[in-house]
Structure 1
């Protein structure tokens, strides 16, 4: 039988044959129940044609005369007037007879050349007289060299023929850099060295060393000197920073166990002196993520002010201190005049710079958040941007554009920005390329164009493959969501055009090829090593997505149930596949959801076609935006070790629930909250369990739940389609997590026929009218044939089994009437009139045993 998409969609809506009608209602608008936007903000900006001239950060003033050129094939004669840059011209062929390249810096010469009086500013000219670089200071001249290097690496400078150029450039923010402040494995020494060269090349001027898992930075050993090897490495990092004109800031994190006494003050001074002897000239103190007496803001300020006098000013060559307060986010900061931020503002020495993450821990940089904190700390805050850090989503790599940074801000609003990257340092460079651009030339920052340039600069030999991976590896699938796959259009299988189908098929084919193309073309082996686990899973996603596209056509044809189901189960992800993908995810916003939705829709439609009724499947609903990610299915996977998480802070009125698809008698509800049932903090500690038939009028089932991880309700049947757990008043601002959410769970005693097996509870999944669940059959399963049933359709997965199973029909005395060996995943059993039981022997995975009626 050939069935069209429209007919199959109608079947999926519910057809009466041997069961009840279970049609999905579609008139309830769930958006009325949502308390926050469900949309991810798109990436701003557009790709530009730079006509072969790529400079990052984008200069403030750039003039190019492409018709007139300077031939430097004979090399350059370098005139270093201050004799400071001997090691910085390795990219140039030096020649005493070459074109003159003059470099100088200083306030007088800079003023004559029109250089802005800002540290890091420079003017670069290329004309018939040669090349001249003039910096306001040494750092500015160094940046002019880096700009020249990028010009010579650009296509416009092919064959050492440079167009005439004038650049007048300067940074908008005084502090532009990186804070190694994430949890997890700190960067290796080699990665840190690579990144420092990267900072210098793209004009980032600050590197704050503060990895949370460095025991000599934090507890328990912050009072102790570094061992010899670690100390030598830090000394080498400082030297690399000096070569790249980067300010190395060593941070200490003493707050968790600090004692506000003279002994610990001297311990801190001693540690600073040890670091000073290694070459450190800039220091930071982090009081973030601590509890106990270390959070006292009055004591923190007293310590900072005393250090400022006793150490910073006494040394004479030490930069101003930087501090990360305990109240570093508006989410939990006390906004009153008695709050710690106000105490900082009223009593902390004005020279001390104060970190701030914004409205929440991971959030955009806005004028509103800066005004809020600046009015309290009485100085422009130092924005600690928790991007592209992934210590809260370690299964994700963030390779998307850098955006969410207000382009109207100036140094009056913030004294700088420090990006907190991933523990994957090489893979963080794409984001840092954007941070460098924004911090230097804020008003002209073009997020999308910067990303396009960064891809080509970082992986020029495999740019297209890297772009394909990056555009589908941008989302956190969590609270701070990022746009992803914005060029890809997905669809549901009941509604698409041929053009949409062909475009998506082509994209999955591209995805499938990415691992091999990156392996062949990416010359940065460090980057390739970091990306590789994700690249492998990305390629598999391309394969299963492509196969799903092929399956859609086989499903629509509808003429060969056996062929469709066998191909279908071959394209399902095994438990091992799921674990591997969940450990290294990509394509979370569109590609993987398309695969899962398409496979689910085909399974539901196929089941409806065979059973004559829609399957019993629940859909997750919630006030949290992350409910739209496929992670919501972790509430229904019959695995109490996995969980759906809100990904954002909970607040009063938030809720998580299920849509049963139609109104039915709700008799029992079982919920497991939190990531565990013992001491997890991610749960609603004060909540109500309620249900509704229409999503508007709600009836409380359990009205006042207090600190309950395990929730169980049974009672008189209530007509409902929706069941939800809703948060009541509470001080909690943690995430919310649900491990399991069951409504009317299947029970052996409710089957209506006998079941003989060693695992009856698990065997229920073969009869639960839900093709998403399955039973791992081993040994023997025997079940009674209900009255009126003339046959069974077996939906199994035997794609990885070679022996197959034996299906026997038994009479009332237990004698075998017939016996068949089955190796196919799809099997139709016609029952003998004398048969009273069916027996399955062997090993297989059973999704559903669908009874066929008279």
Structure 2
């Protein structure tokens, strides 16, 4: 799902929004960001790593008793006694012989009762003793799960010498529905990935796979009324068979709501489609009414359809399971809470056997008792939780590899009838999260997020676990509303807080990160997983290099003895435009590592320039009321690039504000702001706001009257003493994100420099004289600047030079006084004499700053 539903009363226009500049093509009629009101809190991951003493079983069994003093030798193989003759194809991980240890497998209510097996589907017992191995399931699925536990035992370290400890397991699932919904936007999984995942579901006792990829045209508009073409139909047949082998319910979902007509013709179209799918082997069906507008949202028509299908199709077939539905109001954020709301209509009129999906308080949110109580009281049944994690269709430049948490461990099947995870379009990389979801849904009260994650890493990359763990622990956060903890074992700092021991520890971590791509290439045996991760691994390794070099650079900076060496190494460690584009496309380390690098480089640049100028530089900082206002994301509104933008990542509310810290009290005479991600039919902006300034951050003075529906804001006036400038939201119905492309205070103009310039680009040449090292001016041929009276020297701060740069000094008659050739990014230019009135730089260079000094 990673769902965002459109409400006409909440927005106008059609928007497709992604973090920063990543845009996701989406079907029209609803906005990808207007409904996302998550609180940006990064909550720590609960739990701790446990020593399992060589026995690794996932999901965690409810009851496990081990006698380590006695071991069963299985080196000679096992003799199978399959009483129901159902499991011969499920035991390929074993060596079956005519002589050896006895393996007995049985199931059924009668035998299960004798063994104390819980009377629910999927329950089983296992005993290992001198008589051999005995597995008893409540049903066939339970016995299959016992086999999966045996399989994991044999794969555990304790069985390395073909010895199994005597033990007793009495185990069962807490929830009747546990699994995965392929319900994301974007590229659907390949057939091979789906087949691989189905085997994964079976191994870890998940029993549900909902097939509902939004970009499958035969699942949704425009072709939901049509049968699948031959190849796709054959693939679905194979998926159904794979699910049967793994005792997984293959639930085929249809998404007809965007263009459904509430008439007999479309009802028959739906029945026909279900019959075609039935002929392909499907016995479980779902109907999704999410992310739609228009006629299809009518809850009375929806329930009428679902109830009729239950009678005409489900009951008539006899072997079809009760339906599952995703309502249009699938989140508390926009659901009508009244007795007239669609959820209450579901509760009053929907067949009680039909399961109803729910995503929680917002689209991506934690599973809590409170949200379940809210929904269950309205639909009059335990809701079916659709958890939008680790889905990334709203942040496709991320790949989420962190622990599974945010799922309450006090819930029971009386509160929630099931939980399905909506994963990423990267199916193999989603397995780490699904390993944790399988663990939680089976044994809720004993779920331990950290320990489950640690075990999952070992399961997926047994020969590259340390490298995968390093990548995963730094690839967890979303930078968006549904925040995830990341880098929790790593301590970062600002340059002003330098501690040598902490710096060395962090440098060691960056050195570790540098090696991860090569170690994963060498040790990761799952090549499909490696292929999905590779673009992120590449950028992750680069992050390690620049982080390490930032610490080495800081040591030079702190010594303060060698300006030239510092600057030369500084520019070498800057991210180029290409570097940044590559990183933005495949981000990791966004919570601590990349911010450390960015902040360290910015802090050093600020301090270095301050020393050269003898005054506070004008590299302003973004500030605001949002949770991410103190992060490096605010730099996107200060980068002189109107195609990038800072975005709040959560919905706006009254009193929110976005602004700039000028670092010092200054005379403010001009402000220019570009709101939103664009200036045409955008929704992510303050449509009712006021522009204010303050010297102390406490007392604010309005600079302009209230602004209504203005993307572009310009103010000029008499000088006002201020350190802070902000745009503050006033009363409004808008709940969208807030975005700003550009926030300029006292933008520098050539005519205000106090000296003359000759350049190829008069509008941008000021970046070489703006006392800000985050900007630069690109010289293609020549730059000439007048020498103000009293200037004795210049310090030229440039990027790496591709060829030597000529520096020429002229007197007032235009006569050449001297000429110098330079090849270093740092150059101290001493004027030849007092008669020099003009300096020309000839060649190609990117100039960060030209600093004039009186001596």
TM-score range for the pair, normalised by the shorter chain length: over 0.9
Alignment of 1:397-796 (within 5 A): 397-796=399-798
Structure 1 Cα separation of the partners of residues 260 and 467 of structure 2? 49
Say whether the 8 Å CA contact 2:303–2:346 is kept in structure 1.
yes
Supply the distance in 2 between the matched residues of 1:252 and 1:38 (Cα, whole angstroms).
Answer: 33
- Distance in 2 separating the partners of 1:36 and 1:285: 27
Match of residue 297, structure 1, among 296, 299, 306: 299
Tell whether the 8 Å contact from 2:38 to 2:362 is kept in structure 1 after alignment: no
Deviation at 1:510, TM superposition (A): 0.2
User: Distance between the aligned counterparts of 2:704 and 2:58, measured in 1?
Assistant: 59
- Please, which moves more after superposition, 644-653 or 80-89? 644-653
Describe the superposition over 1:788-818 as per-residue Cα deviations: whole angstroms up to 9, x where unpaired.
22121000012xx331211111222222211
Q: Deviations over 1:207-263 (max 9, x none)?
A: 111111111111111111111111111110111001000011111111111122222
Q: Is the 8 A contact 1:477 1:629 kept in 2?
A: no
For 1:65, the equivalent position in structure 2 comes to: 67
Give the TM-score taking structure 1 as reference length.
0.94
Distance in 2 separating the partners of 1:464 and 1:118: 39
Q: Is the 2:38–2:651 Cα contact (8 Å) retained in structure 1?
A: no
Q: Deviations over 1:10-37 (max 9, x none)?
A: xxxxxxxxxxxxxxxxxxxxxxxxx997
**Distance between the aligned counterparts of 1:807 and 1:246, measured in 2?**
74
Residue 752 of structure 1, CA deviation: 1.3
Q: Give runs of ≥4 in structure 1 deviating > 4 Å.
A: 35-39
Q: Deviations over 1:291-333 (max 9, x none)?
A: 2222222221222122122211111111111111111111111
The residue number in structure 2 matching 1:366 is 368
Trace 1:36-47 onto structure 2 (pairs within 5 A).
39-47=41-49
In structure 2, what is the Cα distance between the partners aligned to 1:251 and 1:732?
34
- TM-score under structure 2 length normalisation: 0.94
**Matched residues in 2 for 1:665 and 1:92: separation?**
79
Paired position in structure 2 for 1:828: 828
Q: Unpaired runs of 5+ in structure 1?
A: 1-34
| 1:849 correspondence with 2:854 | no
Any conservation in 2 of the 1:70–1:127 contact (CA below 8 Å)? yes
Partner of 2:390: 388
State the Cα distance separating 1:486 from its structure 2 match: 0.5
The reply to whether residue 816 of structure 1 matches residue 795 of structure 2 is no
Structure 1 residues 646-681: Cα deviation after superposition (integer angstroms, max 9, x where no partner): 111222222221111222222222222222211232
Cα contact 2:255–2:289 (8 A) shared by 1: yes
- Structure 1 contact 36–623 (Cα < 8 Å) conserved: no
Question: How far apart in 2 are the matches of 1:827 and 1:574?
Answer: 21
Structure 1: distance between partners of 2:107 and 2:496: 67
Moved more, 88-97 or 488-497: 488-497
Deviation by residue 1:377-433 (Cα, 9 ceiling, x = unmatched): 111111111100011111111111100100000111111111000110000000000
Residue 12 (structure 1) aligns with:
none
Pick closer, same or farther for the CA change 1:703–1:214 going to 2, 3 Å.
Answer: farther
Distance 1:745 1:268, change over 3 A: same
Q: Distance in 2 between matches of 1:658 and 1:814?
A: 43
Deviation (angstroms), 1:44: 0.2
1:247 to 249, 262, 269: 249
Contact 2:655-2:730 at 8 Å conserved across structures:
yes
The SS at the match of 1:663 is strand
Post-superposition shift, 1:132?
0.5
Query: Quick one: distance in 1 between partners of 2:265 and 2:352?
Result: 27
Segment of structure 1 superposing worse, 113-122 or 620-629? 620-629
3-state secondary structure, aligned to 2:430: helix
The CA deviation string for residues 183-213 of structure 1, in whole angstroms up to 9 with x for no partner, is 1111000000000000000011101111111
Cα shift at 1:38: 6.5
Distance 1:188 1:720 in 2: 57
Query: What pairs with 1:59-458 in structure 2 (closer than 5 Å)?
Result: 59-458=61-460
> 2:839 corresponds to which residue?
838
Change (3 A) 1:215 1:201: same
- Relative distance call for 1:605 and 1:380 in structure 2 (3 A) is same
- What's the secondary structure of 2:623's corresponding residue? strand
The count of aligned residue pairs is 818
Helix, strand or coil: the match of 2:561?
coil
Q: CA RMSD in A?
A: 1.3
Shift of 1:685: 2.4
Deviations 1:609-641 (A, max 9, x none): 111112112211122112233222111111111
Deviates more, 1:75-84 or 1:832-841: 832-841
Measured in 2, the distance between the counterparts of 1:290 and 1:789 equals 67
CA contact (8 A) 1:671 1:741 kept: yes
Q: CA deviation at 1:598?
A: 0.8
1:440-471 CA-to-partner distances (Å, cap 9, x unmatched) read: 00000000000111111110101000010001
Q: How much does 1:496 deviate?
A: 2.6
Q: Between 292-301 and 370-379, report the one with greater CA deviation.
A: 292-301
Residues 39 and 482 in structure 2, CA contact (< 8 A), matched pair in contact too: no
Of residues 736-745 and 591-600 in structure 1, the stretch that sits farther from structure 2 once superposed is 736-745
Per mean C-alpha deviation after superposition, the further-off stretch among 179-188 and 292-301 is 292-301
Distance 1:432 1:724 in 2: 43
- Aligned counterparts of 2:255 and 2:852: Cα–Cα separation in 1: 65
| 1:698 to partner: Cα distance | 2.3
1:463 and 1:698 mapped to 2: Cα distance? Answer: 54
Offset at residue 695 of structure 1 (A): 2.1
For residue 39 of structure 1, report the CA deviation from its aligned partner: 4.7
8 A Cα contact 2:40 2:650, kept in partner: no
**CA offsets 1:59-103 (integer angstroms, 9 cap, x no match):** 000001111010111101111111111110000000111111011
CA distance in 1, matches of 2:779, 2:496: 33
Q: CA deviation at 1:558?
A: 1.7
Q: Separation in 2 of the partners of 1:293 and 1:741?
A: 43
Separation in 1 of the partners of 2:38 and 2:682?
25
Shift of 1:704: 2.9
